[in-house]
Structure 1
């Protein structure tokens, strides 16, 4: 039946193999359907070509709905597949060949991946730009308005672009057509969780499990949502069900199965500390070192001599729903202010879904940092890890860390220097792929030009030292380089040591010891051509490097504390500017160090905002969009973008000095004088002293109470 109707739905693809290629997805279905088609082939009376042609159109019709753009592609797999694909083309084994050789090769690579059983890699290979996919889905819906999978995939495409309202509308339409559509329930639930709407997410996961009791994704996400809301009994029960679903012999374990034991152990820890003041304990010191190490590295839970966290204790009750009206008017104002401040941290760019829960958590972190810094500059002490003392720089960041942790317990936000000594000596790598294979990480695309200029400068420095006679020729060659991909041939031409790639290291200047430099990040470029290259940035958090940066941060913090105390007694504008520069310089080194396993950027920015507010400055501006000119991209890369942003951590890493970073940041922060009413807000630390009270305020709905600010 579908073969006939397919001619209507996909008529635009007739005679256009690129259209078919552009819309292939869900490749596991191909194997199943192809198997049945060829089982029937001998008795149908149709030729193999007719069967395959009809099947291919049906497959396109069913599978043109792109689910998501994958973030990675194994280069070694791609390299092998390309060689096989070329042979495939030479032997004329590719179905539906076209005049364009590159198109044939790309199609052939996909078929080779399928033939080798690499279905996930094949899906990644056939991924498209989400915007193009959206237009395809819309066209399909014009022809067939009850196309459920089109609505489902349209919703997922919008979700990947960060368009929550459009995604919700699409998922809703899919479920109106079929209220039992499991994939729509699962995807909508996950989107709601990452939007901070946990109670609504739980409803979707419950319905999903009613229809499919062994759905690991829904079971895991249901458990996670319950724990995030403080409903530990239901949460850990769901987590245990995932743990009991052991993979069969030879079957690959799901990511949910690999993560769930870490989540269950952390959930038990949170439950046992639910009513203990947060200032009286330290997560990084309490959790076993090997547990933290494995969790941060996303390793299988194979930890020798691990002692499990205590089970649920009946006398510790779950967190109950809290009504916004139950808070005093002052606390209500505190919550609304936090919501506004947190929204200023949202990256206003495709690829980032707004998360109201994270917004409130980091807004409260900002206010708590402001209040803590103000007390410190007024010679007051703070309560940290069960002790009362003067606040140190790590205590300031720990305020933001605790709120980031509690907002989303799925992610291990841990201090890397608190890992076991053996692990720290080996180093922790923060790795960001900018280009891998045919996938561009568009979140960082705005920084490509800066990085390219930096690489050119380092190449000239290298040749100035080791090849002074050829420096002019190298300089002239580099002037014609406008894309990262063009650097490899240049390096191979002028440096015999360059074979498959090269690395370039950045340096970070010291403020404490003028003339001294620290290791920054490492840029790696490998590969032999466009479509088969790796362009990545990496920071290595070794013990020696950590000590260097911490010494720098401590020096700046000491100076900041002294100038902050002087500022409390002064009205001079210059004093406030000096404090502002020190705050931004401190965060500059924090971001270059990358001391956390997750969340360094939002933690850093909330500390910046809070400390600036303590100095009398209010951040008015939002984090700017990354400006990307799509017309500058090659055709191959233009349809494989993942999403742009001006990121606080990357802004720090790609700026040559703390002074330059301060100037850039102050420009888009648009600092104004802090209104006096901020000083009368209730103490965040005293209002929400425990994990229970923190979860309660994050659960509270304020949507109909807080004024919306632009």
Structure 2
């Protein structure tokens, strides 16, 4: 819990969002992968400047010399040394094969137009722009020249790897061409440029217009679906990808995009089916192998994921994503000799501690702060006084597969119970893929927290970091953290936009009530007509002269320890860009002072919880158990408001809640309701009391059955990293009873 760290989660309404791969990256942009694939095919970018798989792969646009063979003497002539005669010959061939878009009746003009397209086809974009500009001086309304110059501008921008470049000129030319002679092709090409510019709403409108003029365009339908995908409108994207497949049943990219959309929606089975269909059409389709492997990894099916990454690397040995994810999967399974290639530093540390009881060391304390800071931020490891981790030691063997039947019946019951408890923590909201491995890990964490808290309340000490002492609140969370390796920043908070909208309205009214009381009534009336987050920015510009490109509101968290005092909560920022897109971000900005405030609050609650927990061990009063429950939920309320937004910190917090409640004699029977997220629920709730009431309602607490007390000790059954990894690797699917 670095005191001066800052973490953020960004949610885009109409702007592509991405997050870096830290330990286990949760999200890779389909657009990024898509563009990378097109570059590999030899296209400067999106190949749909013509019909599907046309321009960038057309032999006509490559100016191949039929009399020239590779390695011949004299060598083949470079495209950059083409003489006028060859360019003219290729232009004539272009005309003969009727490849000129928007031809005119004058043959000489068509030849001039064709020369420009030959230049474009060979990457000579500056020459093409000059050529078309000269033509347009003579005839400003020559549609084919306007269109060709627009294509050259667009391809030149993409060639220099700039999303801006000269796309504005390209859009200008295409817009003028559309005004003079609207066509499906022109709308599709302008839509493609708008898509690259991340103006997804305008791009969608152009693709739709193109499809109305010419229905049978699978690639335009695919791009229309991608505009929905990048706006977070996954269900609309799925329906559009299906329409593309009706137009072209063997459309691999549509199956791949459909699979990714289902994966983002959290529908594992449908995503698997779509990726499988893409690979049936082309078993060597690298993107589908890569995306399916990543989905399997995040589903907890590590061995299957490795198979996909291996196949990917056979086809493309230097694929960084597949290499990284393959290493990640091996490390997660305890196969360090394979995984070490991808994750040297942390793999070495974990390998050297593989057989040491986890109660005897602490990763957080052993690794220096600079190391953790550089690791989390993907910075170079140029750190003074950093001691290199020891290399792999031959006497420490990799983790071997473990059979479920090799465990005793008591341990088998422990594992099955953990699987059930972990499943109760699964979010039922778009974007959260069920992960069986995480379910087991956090179920075991819950049981270990329960057992540790029970011992603490019974006046027993616990073994922490090689020492025996009284349990502290950090120890409670450290138990869960050791089972939940890594951190995942998750950007899927679309379900909370409506709640956040109401929250922002309230904060705006609080602000104007303090600084602009006379205009409060007018502001309130304007806000009543706002139904979408993106409508807030114009309202704020209207009533606050300081608002230009965006505004910020902050939440406040009330103190239970010091009544009347408030702590900084999270920050919401809404900004607009030049094309009308909105960026909506929710950040938790942590400073040392803020961290100390929250820790003081949590320590006060934990002290009270320990006292009441010990009293509960000697009491049978219902009110005592309810008081303990409220303290547990209040403690986690402050923890969630303190920590960065991530699925990691959220599931750790919930496992602590469940474990501590079980220690107090209460079993959680209910699942987290559809659309609810524990961390966001705590952050958007104005007080710990209200959060406690909300959480208890869905938890459906019942008395804990007595057999839980007879389960083996989690800490003693799985004392080391090796035994922990072994149990997470074990398949119990055919042994544990299914529970609703």
TM value normalised by structure 1:
0.69
CA deviation after TM superposition for structure 1 residue 675, in Å:
1.2
Deviation of 1:681 (Å): 0.5
Cα distance in 1, alignment partners of residues 736 and 381 from structure 2: 43
**Residues 524 and 537, structure 1, Cα contact 8 Å, conserved in 2:** yes
Q: Secondary structure at the match of 1:379?
A: coil
Seen in structure 2, the aligned counterparts of structure 1 residues 362 and 85 have a Cα distance that, compared at 3 Å, is farther
Q: Which runs of 5+ in 2 are unaligned?
A: 1-27, 35-42, 46-54, 66-78, 137-234
Query: Aligned residue for 2:614?
Result: 565
Q: Structure 1, residues 202-259: CA drift from partner, whole Å, max 9, x if none?
A: 122222222222222222221111111111112214557xxxxxxxxxxxxxxxxxxx
Judging changes above 3 Å, is the alpha-carbon distance between structure 1 residues 215 and 559 closer, same or farther for their aligned structure 2 residues?
Answer: same
Q: Does 2:321 correspond to 1:232?
A: no
Structure 1 position 162 matched with structure 2 position 281: no
Contact persistence 2:306–2:329 (CA under 8 A): yes
The answer to whether the 8 A contact 1:330-1:682 is kept is yes
Corresponding residue number in structure 2 for 1:443: 492
Going from structure 1 to structure 2, the CA distance change for 1:285 and 1:496 (only over 3 Å counts) comes to same
- Give a deviation string over 1:460-487, Cα, whole Å, max 9, x none: 3333333333232223223222322232
Query: Given the superposition, is the C-alpha separation of residues 112 and 401 from structure 1 closer, same or farther in structure 2, using an over 3 Å criterion?
Result: farther
Distance 2:81 2:655 in 1: 41
Give the CA deviation at 1:503.
1.8
Tell me, yes or no, if the aligned pair for 1:463 and 1:471 is still in contact at 8 Å: yes
- Are residues 590 and 211 of structure 1, via their aligned partners in 2, closer, same or farther at CA, if it must alter by over 3 Å? same
Alpha-carbon contact 1:370-1:613 (below 8 Å) kept:
yes
Change (3 A) 1:380 1:505: same
SS in 1 for 2:341: helix
Distance 1:118 1:312, change over 3 A: farther
Match status 1:533 vs 2:558 = no
Q: Secondary structure at the match of 1:399?
A: helix
1:351 Cα offset (Å): 1.3
Q: In structure 2, what is the Cα distance between the partners aligned to 1:100 and 1:483? A: 53
The question of whether the paired residues in 1 share the 8 Å contact of 2:62 and 2:121 is answered with no
Return closer, same or farther for 1:311/1:599 CA change in 2, 3 Å cut-off: same
Query: CA offset at residue 446 of structure 1?
Result: 3.5
Contact 1:334–1:682 (Cα < 8 Å) also in 2: yes
The question of whether the paired residues in 1 share the 8 Å contact of 2:419 and 2:443 is answered with yes
In the superposition, relative to structure 1, how do residues 175 and 692 fare at CA in structure 2: closer, same or farther (>3 Å)?
same
Could you tell me whether the CA contact under 8 Å between 1:342 and 1:361 is conserved in 2?
yes
> Equivalent of 1:312, from 392, 410, 413?
392
> Would the aligned equivalents of 1:27 and 1:123 in 2 still touch at CA under 8 Å?
no
Shift of 1:602: 0.6
**How far off is 1:112 after superposition?**
21
Summarize the Cα distance change of 1:466–1:570 in structure 2 as closer, same or farther, 3 Å threshold: same
Q: Match of 1:480?
A: 529
Could you tell me which of 75, 81, 100 is aligned with 1:77?
81
Equivalent position to 1:116, from 122, 135, 149: 122
Q: For 1:459 and 1:80, locate their aligned partners in 2 and report how far apart those are by CA, in whole Å.
A: 67
Structure 1 residue runs without a partner (length 5+): 13-18, 30-74, 241-264, 406-436, 628-646
Q: Please give the alpha-carbon distance, in whole angstroms, between the structure 2 residues aligned to 1:534 and 1:78.
A: 47
State the TM-score, normalizing by the size of structure 2. 0.67
CA positional deviation for 1:21: 21
Deviation at residue 26 of structure 1 after TM alignment: 20
Task: Quickly say closer, same or farther: Cα 1:505–1:320, change in 2 above 3 A.
Answer: same
For structure 1, which segment, 127-136 or 595-604, has the greater mean C-alpha deviation from structure 2 after superposition?
127-136
Give the match for residue 24 of structure 1.
60
Local SS of the residue matching 1:300: coil
Residue 11 of structure 1: how far off its partner (Å): 26
CA gap 1:105/1:577 in 2 versus in 1, 3 angstroms? farther
Residue 616 of structure 1, CA deviation:
1.1
Return the alpha-carbon distance in structure 2 between the equivalents of residues 292 and 462 of structure 1: 38
2:415 equivalent to 1:328: no
1:684 CA drift (Å): 0.3
- The 8 Å contact of residues 25 and 123 in structure 1, kept in 2 or not, is answered as no
Query: Which piece of structure 1 moves more, 583-592 or 448-457?
Result: 448-457
Q: Against the structure 1 CA distance between its residues 86 and 170, is the aligned structure 2 distance closer, same or farther, given a 3 Å change threshold? A: farther
**Alpha carbons of structure 1 residues 493 and 322: separation in structure 2 relative to 1, 3 Å:** same
Partners in 1 of 2:472 and 2:610 — Cα distance? 9
8 Å CA contact 2:561, 2:601 repeated in 1: yes
1:34-61 per-residue CA deviation (whole Å, 9 max, x = no partner) reads xxxxxxxxxxxxxxxxxxxxxxxxxxxx
In the TM superposition, what are the counterparts of 1:346-357 in structure 2 within 5 Å?
346-357=426-437
Deviates more, 1:181-190 or 1:355-364: 181-190
Count of aligned pairs between the two proteins: 583
Contact 2:557 2:566 in 1 (8 A): yes
Q: Helix, strand or coil for the counterpart of 1:506? A: strand
Summarize the Cα distance change of 1:523–1:597 in structure 2 as closer, same or farther, 3 Å threshold. closer
Q: Is the 8 A contact 1:485 1:529 kept in 2?
A: no
CA separation in 1, counterparts of 2:685 and 2:29?
A: 59
Contact 2:445 2:480 in 1 (8 A): yes
Q: CA deviation at 1:705?
A: 0.3
Matches within 5 A, 1:627-642: none
Give the direction of change, closer, same or farther, for the CA distance of 1:182–1:312 in structure 2 (3 Å limit).
Answer: same
In terms of mean alpha carbon deviation, does 481-490 or 312-321 score higher?
481-490
Cα-to-partner distance string for 1:350-391 (whole Å, 9 max, x where unaligned): 211111111110010000001111111111100001110110
Q: Deviations over 1:387-444 (max 9, x none)?
A: 1011000000000000001xxxxxxxxxxxxxxxxxxxxxxxxxxxxxxx99999832
Which region of structure 1 is more displaced relative to structure 2, 534-543 or 505-514? 534-543
Q: Is the 8 A contact 2:326 2:339 kept in 1?
A: yes
Q: Which residue, out of 434, 437, 455, partners 1:375?
A: 455
What secondary structure is seen at the aligned counterpart in 1 of 2:60?
A: coil
Give distance in 1, aligned partners of 2:92 and 2:457: 68
Q: Secondary structure at the match of 1:24?
A: helix
In structure 1, the residue matched to 2:602 is: 553
Q: Which piece of structure 1 moves more, 491-500 or 311-320? A: 491-500
